[in-house]
Amino acid sequence: MKFSEYHIAKEIKQSLEELGFKRPTDIQYKAIPSILKLEDVLAIAQTGTGKTAAFAIPVINLLHVRKEYDDLQGIKCLVMVPTHELAIQITEVFTSIAKHTKITTLGIYGGVDQQSQIETLKNGVDVLIATPGRLFDLVNQKHIKLRSVEILILDEADHMLDMGFYKDIKYLTTYLPQKRQTLFFSATINEHIKDLAYSIVKNAIRIQISPKDPVNKNIDHCVMFVAMDDKRFFLERLINENPGTKVLAFVRTKVRAERVMSAMQRVGIKSVTMHGGKNQENRLQVLNQFKSGEVNLLIATDVSARGIDIANIDYVVNYDLPDEPENYVHRVGRSGRGTKKGNAVSFCSDEEKPILIQIESFLTKSIKVLEVKKDDYAQTLLYTEDTSDNWKLLMKEADKTKPKKKNKKK
């Protein structure tokens, strides 16, 4: 079934056509009809399967139809998300799909001055996308009233719980009307998430897409066993052997992100970093550089795993394996978005092998091992462009130029 055959407004169909959306993904196909029927939905689907459009398309249609016959007053849809980057990405999706309608959208999040957000709120907003912290602040300051909300959406709910937003979410729901439609979207689910979900949804339609395999089938993923100190050489090689490709590399800490960037700079590879130590303006600048192709290597910590929705990321590199197995899913899901093919490569040191076992247990299957022969491994270290580390190459070249000792005649 094509989007052109759906019973949605022609203005939305026009936007979808301009965006290149022709057929729904599995989660869109299953979720859109239930949302249009005003049913509560609990949806569990892999990262990169089109979850945002799965709720944005029907919600915009519901509000658009109502606005054609009614003068909507106040915020009608509230979308709660865990990170600044995700708030920005979802706001962009709503804005682009609602382009030819009169539905207005605003994203609010911390790290930027709140005054401009307050001014926009005064002019009236139909859809509000918010992180809990900034939403909590503006509700308490009485700049936001939620009694007009008809649709509540929690996206990446598992991550919000991991970040400690459980109490904030429960508290904010007390400001919402009891009679509302609630949509609950997550890539993973556990008992804690189920408790929250069933406390705020009523008779929800439960949708699960490939629950036995949390990794998107469009992603080819493998692991290489590499010593911790040698990882930079293998990242250098991967980039040099795949020129022009977009690479997103995940590291464990912000200090490590900066060190890896410095290592790449020494070998002539331009890169940028994104982590919790950057302010919002800088993070936006970095994302724009990566998105535009000005820079093709982005080195990030897990703070960015849920917020990056950039088309055509060719490789996700787990430079360091994640501490939590679930984060592996969210990291590699930055590649292979929608119907695109993607690649995920993990560098695993000896000390990280216990983490790899946990990840494979979570995935319920083994990750393909990319064998590196001893000679190939040695060549990777030998021919680095890093002038501080190619002393081995210099020594080898020096050996070649040494005159061979002549055998003494007896």
CATH number at residue 139: 3.40.50.300
Instruction: Look at residue 394 and tell me if it is in a domain.
Output: no
Range of weakest confidence among 40-49, 132-141, 181-190, 209-218: 209-218
According to the model, what pLDDT value does residue 389 have? 60
Same domain for 120 and 256? no
Q: How far apart are CA 256 and CA 275, in angstroms?
A: 10
CB 93 within 8 A of CB 79: no
**Interior/surface letters 244-259, b for 16+ CB within 10 angstroms, e for the rest:** eebbbbbbeebebbee
Look at 38 and 325; give whichever has higher pLDDT: 38
Long-range contacts of 349-357 (CB under 8 A, 24+ apart): 349/225, 349/226, 349/227, 349/228, 349/231, 350/225, 350/227, 351/228, 352/228, 352/320, 352/321, 355/321, 355/322, 355/323, 355/325, 356/223, 356/321
Is the pLDDT confidence value at 134 over 80? yes
Question: 342-348 and 297-300 as β-strands: parallel, antiparallel, unpaired?
Answer: unpaired
Which of 155, 200, 207 lies closest to 178 in space, CA to CA? 200
pLDDT tens by residue, 270-288: 999 988 787 777 888 888 8
* Helix 10-19 with 51-69: angle, nearest 10 deg: 150
Instruction: Look at residue 337 and tell me if it is in a domain.
Output: yes
Q: What are phi and psi of 362, to 5 degrees?
A: -65, -40
Same domain for 90 and 181? yes
Same domain for 319 and 266? yes
pLDDT tens by residue, 230-284: 999 999 999 999 998 999 999 999 999 999 999 999 999 999 998 878 777 788 8
pTM of the model: 0.69
Same domain for 169 and 34? yes
Overall number of domains in the chain = 2
Is the pLDDT confidence value at 149 over 50? yes
Is the pLDDT confidence value at 19 over 60? yes
Instruction: Look at residue 408 and tell me if it is in a domain.
Output: no
What is the enclosing helix (H) or strand (E) of 316? strand 315-318
Instruction: Look at residue 315 and tell me if it is in a domain.
Output: yes
* Helix 191-200 with 166-173: angle, nearest 10 deg: 10
Range of weakest confidence among 10-24, 129-143, 186-200, 342-356: 186-200
- Angular region, 135: left φ>0, alpha ψ -120 to 50, beta rest: alpha
Q: What are phi and psi of 120, to 5 degrees?
A: -65, -40
Same domain for 240 and 107? no
Range of weakest confidence among 25-29, 70-74, 189-193, 376-380: 189-193
Same domain for 161 and 299? no
Query: Mean pLDDT, the chain, as a whole number?
Result: 85
Residue range 157-180: mean pLDDT, rounded: 81
The CA-based diameter of the chain, rounded to the nearest angstrom, is 110
pLDDT band at 390 (very low <50, low <70, confident <90, very high): low
According to the model, what pLDDT value does residue 410 have? 47
Same domain for 223 and 366? yes
Is the pLDDT confidence value at 399 over 60? no
CB 218 within 8 A of CB 342: yes
Same domain for 131 and 235? no
According to the model, what pLDDT value does residue 347 have? 97
According to the model, what pLDDT value does residue 209 have? 74
What is the enclosing helix (H) or strand (E) of 54? helix 51-69
pLDDT band at 142 (very low <50, low <70, confident <90, very high): very high
Other CB atoms within a 10 A radius of the CB of residue 149 amount to 20
Instruction: Look at residue 47 and tell me if it is in a domain.
Output: yes
Instruction: Look at residue 188 and tell me if it is in a domain.
Output: yes
Q: How far apart are CA 258 and CA 348, in angstroms?
A: 20
According to the model, what pLDDT value does residue 309 have? 66
Helices (H) and strands (E) in the chain, counts: 16, 14
pLDDT tens by residue, 78-118: 999 988 888 988 999 999 999 999 999 999 998 788 999 99
Same domain for 186 and 301? no
CB 165 within 8 A of CB 82: yes
Q: Of 140, 175, 208, which residue constitutes the final position of a domain?
A: 208
Is the pLDDT confidence value at 180 over 80? yes
Identify the domain containing residue 254 by its residue range.
219-387
pLDDT tens by residue, 25-72: 889 999 999 999 999 998 887 766 788 999 999 999 999 998 877 777
Instruction: Look at residue 49 and tell me if it is in a domain.
Output: yes
Determine what percent of the chain is predicted with pLDDT higher than 70: 88
Q: What are phi and psi of 24, to 5 degrees?
A: -70, 150
Instruction: Look at residue 407 and tell me if it is in a domain.
Output: no
Same domain for 238 and 370? yes
Same domain for 196 and 260? no
Same domain for 347 and 226? yes
Which of 91, 128, 381, 61 lies closest to 232 in space, CA to CA? 381
